[in-house]
Amino acid sequence: MCGIVGYIGARQAAPILLAGLEKLEYRGYDSAGICVVAPEESKLSYAKCLGKIINLRTRTRDGTALPGGNGIGHTRWATHGTPSETNSHPHLSGDGRIALVHNGIIENYQELAARLRDAGYVFRSETDSETIVHLLEDYYDGNPVAALRRAAAELRGSFALGVLFADFPGRLYALRKASPLIIGMGEGENFIASDVPALLTHTRKIIRMQEGSVAELASDGIKLWDADGCAITPNPETIDWDANSAQKDGHAHYTIKEIHEQPYALRRTISPRLRGDEIDFGFTKISEQELRDCNCIYLLGCGSAYHVGMVGKYYLEKLCRVFAIPVLASEFRYAHPVVTEKTLTIVVSQSGETADAREAMHEAQRLGSKVISIVNVKGSAIAVESDEVIYTHAGPEIGVATTKAYNVQLNALLLFALYMARVRGTAEEIYIKEEIHALQTLPEKMESFLFDVTTAQFYASVYCGGKDIYFLGRNVDYALALEGSLKLKEISYIHSEAYAAGELKHGTLALMEEGTPVVAVCTYTPLLDKMISNIVQVKARGAKVLAIVREGETGLDFVADYVWRIPASFGFTQSALTILPMQLFAYYVALQLDREIDQPRNLAKSVTVE
């Protein structure tokens, strides 16, 4: 979603803002803009463009047309009003003395805008964001921080703001509520940004702004106030990954780079939690007794994170003998969920900022459930607000379509299920140990499979002409097929659906005809025979079937049109391998179709609106 950058220091701001915005392109956007305090006259000058940042580069002659050492920049992902130059940010107050960039949604903007219009403020755009700048102008009496605090108190929704006041040419202001915003600390210069990659070429020392906090940045210092207006001492952290982690490293796209990073990401996620065969999450707020007493687990997430919950249901129910209910986070909040003192909630989110997931988590907490989050971004809202957090260590994921983060979430959840099963005594110790050992050898198996992508390229060339592609599976393979299908949809734009193979005969079989492309996921051995029957049924109607099977499996050889063999692994650790061919398939189909793989149309990486 929208991206914010800001700079204050001795260098020219505009080129830094443009480069920072390019690093945030992965978030998804349709227009961009920058605003700089012109040094001599303390005047705000800005430029905005529809489309890519290259347009803004051209318009500002790579930033040289806007001189000044203090500025803000923005990439907009349209929510209120069409993608257009007028609707893009920055928005300026009527007198042109305040400029603002905003990420988030203002829920009560209509009533505020009506009031401001009555007071004589003239709106130029269709956005909710413009309301904020007029509100600031209304409250501004020479004290920017006071105006920001007053405005924030009236705004409902989510907002990360970067703000310039022409009266304060040596100050850059920021405010954060329910949308991510970080501060980068440099030598004689400081920054704001929506995410770390925008800052890495300048600094690795960052401050994650607290919920409701306000910041005043100068080139030589930072002042911070919490939501109650009390001064906060900055608590910087050092980012432990470098700029290279957020580069393509010779790959054509971030997405394929991130697919290949999965073994490394998995090692980094699993090994800190294992001491020999012991699993340790270091929980302090959820006791072992609570895990023993638990009789229901909600698994909440959106998109791929929801699919992780779909897979996790099979892990938790088998290993822990507990009801495990995956629910789309966007539905949970409005579904009157049954929560008792024995309910536990697990929220899965790569970004830790997804509005639907966060609101669902708040609802679970409000109803009395403790929450464990599985999150990739350190210090993100969901991580901070949950009772316990299991961090995944996938590193920065830039491709909008998640791959490595999804895979490590699966395995973090598996490790948790094994831990909980041991606490509850619901699985044989010998079985738990075998799963743990298999987890430890998974990265090598993943590496061996990912080493050669020619098979994936071949199947992609066979299937890329398909109009609708169906994915079938049973049990965990069904849950994994949901993710394989989503991957294909979002980066290739080919329509695709995943079905539980046993459901075919209850309706979907009607769609099968000569040449219908079907990917049959057949790695869940206990139900292999049933999958073979289902494949025979679709083949009888003319479907062209690509079966994904474990090495050593021969049952499909004379049934499917194509058989794609993947390494076998013990028990539930198979999932981490089963998803790989589907990720590669989606990637190479999209490549053949020349799609914008890293930033698919209409999608954003971090979805901070409901």
Active-site residues, by number, are: 2, 605
- When the beta carbons of 402 and 411 are compared against ligand M6R, the nearer one is 402
Contact status: 28 vs ligand M6R (CB under 6 A):
no
Binder to ligand M6R among 320, 450, 532, 607 (CB under 6 A)? 607
Residue 396 near residue 216 (C-beta atoms within 8 A) = no
Closest approach of ligand M6R to the CB of residue 607, in Å: 5
Of all residues in the shown chain, the one whose CB is closest to ligand M6R is: 303
Contact status: 210 vs ligand M6R (CB under 6 A):
no
Binder to ligand M6R among 350, 392, 475, 575 (CB under 6 A)? 350
Closest approach of ligand M6R to the CB of residue 301, in Å: 6
Closest approach of ligand M6R to the CB of residue 378, in Å: 14
Q: Which residues of 8-26 are buried (b: 16+ CB within 10 A; e: fewer)?
A: bbeebbbbbbbbbbbbbbb
Phi, psi of 43 (to 5 degrees): -115, 150
Q: Which helix (H) or strand (E) holds 255?
A: helix 254-260
Cα(203)–Cα(183) distance, integer angstroms: 10
- When the beta carbons of 151 and 400 are compared against ligand M6R, the nearer one is 400
Binder to ligand M6R among 88, 354, 523, 583 (CB under 6 A)? 354
- When the beta carbons of 469 and 501 are compared against ligand M6R, the nearer one is 469
Contact status: 269 vs ligand M6R (CB under 6 A):
no
Closest approach of ligand M6R to the CB of residue 403, in Å: 8
Contact status: 349 vs ligand M6R (CB under 6 A):
yes
Q: Judge residue 323's burial from the number of C-beta atoms within 10 Å of its C-beta, 0-12 exposed, 13-18 middle, 19 or more buried.
A: middle
Closest approach of ligand M6R to the CB of residue 354, in Å: 3
- When the beta carbons of 158 and 402 are compared against ligand M6R, the nearer one is 402
Cα(349)–Cα(359) distance, integer angstroms: 12
Binder to ligand M6R among 17, 99, 199, 357 (CB under 6 A)? 357
Contact status: 20 vs ligand M6R (CB under 6 A):
no
Helices 129-139 and 144-154: crossing angle, nearest 10°? 130
Binder to ligand M6R among 103, 129, 219, 304 (CB under 6 A)? 304
Contact status: 303 vs ligand M6R (CB under 6 A):
yes
**Residues binding ligand M6R: what is the number (CB under 6 A)?**
16
- When the beta carbons of 388 and 490 are compared against ligand M6R, the nearer one is 490
Record the tokens describing residue 365, joined without a space: 């907490």
Q: How far is CA 307 from CA 246, 327, 365, in A?
A: 25, 10, 22
Q: Which helix (H) or strand (E) holds 289?
A: helix 288-293
Record the tokens describing residue 294, joined without a space: 């638990």
- When the beta carbons of 49 and 302 are compared against ligand M6R, the nearer one is 302
Cα(381)–Cα(4) distance, integer angstroms: 17
Q: How far is CA 252 from CA 27, 109, 457, 598, in A?
A: 18, 42, 14, 10
Residue 141 near residue 148 (C-beta atoms within 8 A) = no
Closest approach of ligand M6R to the CB of residue 592, in Å: 19
Closest approach of ligand M6R to the CB of residue 468, in Å: 20
Closest approach of ligand M6R to the CB of residue 406, in Å: 7
Residue 113 near residue 155 (C-beta atoms within 8 A) = no
**Per CB under 6 A, which region of 71-79, 117-125, 298-306, 315-323 contacts ligand M6R?**
298-306
Contacts of 9 (CB under 8 A, 6+ apart): 69, 186, 188, 189, 190, 219
CA angle 344, 411, 584 (to 5 degrees): 130
- Binding residues for ligand M6R restricted to 362-401, rule: CB under 6 A: 400-401
Contact status: 207 vs ligand M6R (CB under 6 A):
no
- When the beta carbons of 387 and 483 are compared against ligand M6R, the nearer one is 483
Contact status: 519 vs ligand M6R (CB under 6 A):
no
- Binding residues for ligand M6R restricted to 394-433, rule: CB under 6 A: 400-402
Per DSSP, 601 falls in state T
Cα(171)–Cα(186) distance, integer angstroms: 15
Contact status: 435 vs ligand M6R (CB under 6 A):
no
- When the beta carbons of 195 and 435 are compared against ligand M6R, the nearer one is 195
SS (H, E, C) 444-468: HHHHHHHCCCHHHHHHHHHHCCCCE
Contact status: 163 vs ligand M6R (CB under 6 A):
no
- When the beta carbons of 266 and 504 are compared against ligand M6R, the nearer one is 266
Contacts of 148 (CB under 8 A, 6+ apart): 136, 161, 163, 173, 175, 214
Contact status: 485 vs ligand M6R (CB under 6 A):
no
**Per CB under 6 A, which region of 11-19, 54-62, 254-262, 348-356 contacts ligand M6R?**
348-356
Cα(87)–Cα(124) distance, integer angstroms: 8
Contact status: 330 vs ligand M6R (CB under 6 A):
no
**Per CB under 6 A, which region of 158-166, 182-190, 250-258, 297-305 contacts ligand M6R?**
297-305
Closest approach of ligand M6R to the CB of residue 245, in Å: 18
Cα(17)–Cα(53) distance, integer angstroms: 11
Closest approach of ligand M6R to the CB of residue 602, in Å: 11
Closest approach of ligand M6R to the CB of residue 1, in Å: 10
Contact status: 345 vs ligand M6R (CB under 6 A):
no
Contact status: 305 vs ligand M6R (CB under 6 A):
yes
Q: Report the helix count and the strand count for the chain, using DSSP H and E.
A: 18, 27
Taking residue 55's Cβ as centre, other Cβ atoms within 10 Å add up to: 16
Strands 278-279 and 274-275: antiparallel
- Binding residues for ligand M6R restricted to 542-601, rule: CB under 6 A: none
Residue 4 near residue 73 (C-beta atoms within 8 A) = yes
Positions in the binding site for ligand M6R (CB under 6 A): 302-305, 349-351, 354, 357, 400-402, 490, 603, 606-607
